[in-house]
Amino acid sequence: MEKMKTDRLYLRDFQEDDWGAVHKYASLEQVSRNQPWGPNTIEETKAFVEEALADSKKTPRTRYIFAIVLKEHEELIGAVEINIRSAANKSGEIGYIVNPDHWGKGVATEAASLMIGFGFNGLKLHRIYATCAPGNEGSRKVLEKLGMHFEGRMRETVLLRDGWRDSNLFSVLAGEWLGKRSATKSKDDREDGY
């Protein structure tokens, strides 16, 4: 598969020795606050990396989870994934997690944008969705920046350590995404004199 990249980061399959970089953020309470996992022990982080490696070898592959790597220092700072939830209905779900040292810098938006593009162009999906906790303003802003539409709140969808959590649902359709990208490209071409 062709490497997905932007000017400052790229996505790649996980490697066995990535667990240390993953554990730097997966062991933090603030990272796992809205998740059904964590804060991770070393064993749990190693198990996550092993699961990601196993998923990358499955045929057909339905889970594409990639490490987010900053080019400048070759630093792994997070993960982004797309799961094919229904092959028949061409539907997928994205998710992302970023080391808090890099929150608020557009990293999640860049990485998720690459995954959405891969979902529509590479996997030929029709609909991609994502969920976030109602109080997670950072994640909500990422999803809105990606052009995803708020569809509503799903009640008690995730069981956390302290009880059930609701989820806000966002989605984007292939025609919206590809049309937006085409319009942006045409506008950029005009501005460049093409």
Nearest to 16 by CA among 45, 41, 53: 53
| 56-84 pLDDT tens trace | 999 999 999 999 999 999 999 999 999 99
Percent over 70 (pLDDT), the chain: 91
Does the N-terminal peptide bond of residue 60 adopt cis geometry, omega within 30 degrees of 0?
yes
Q: DSSP H helical segments within the chain, as ranges?
A: 19-26, 29-32, 42-56, 107-117, 137-145, 174-191
pLDDT of residue 6: 94
Nearest to 4 by CA among 118, 104, 99, 86: 118
Mean model confidence pLDDT for the chain:
90
| 153-165 pLDDT tens trace | 999 999 988 899 9
| 6-17 pLDDT tens trace | 999 999 999 999
Residue pair 105/75 in contact (Cβ under 8 Å)? The answer is no
Q: What is the mean pLDDT of residues 35-47?
A: 90
Q: Which residues fall within 8 angstroms of residue 178, CB to CB, at 6 or more apart?
A: 120, 121
Q: How confident is the model at residue 187 (pLDDT cuts 50, 70, 90)?
A: very low
pLDDT of residue 34: 81
Does the reported pTM lie above 0.85? yes
Phi/psi region, residue 193 (left: phi>0; alpha: psi -120 to 50; beta: rest), is: left
Residue pair 119/94 in contact (Cβ under 8 Å)? The answer is yes
- Taking residue 88's Cβ as centre, other Cβ atoms within 10 Å add up to 5
pLDDT of residue 183: 53
- Taking residue 49's Cβ as centre, other Cβ atoms within 10 Å add up to 23
| 83-139 pLDDT tens trace | 999 999 999 999 999 999 999 999 999 999 999 999 999 999 999 999 999 999 999
Question: Facing residues of 97 across strands?
Answer: 79
Residue 50 has pLDDT above 90, yes or no: yes
- Taking residue 11's Cβ as centre, other Cβ atoms within 10 Å add up to 24
33 or 89: which leads in pLDDT:
89
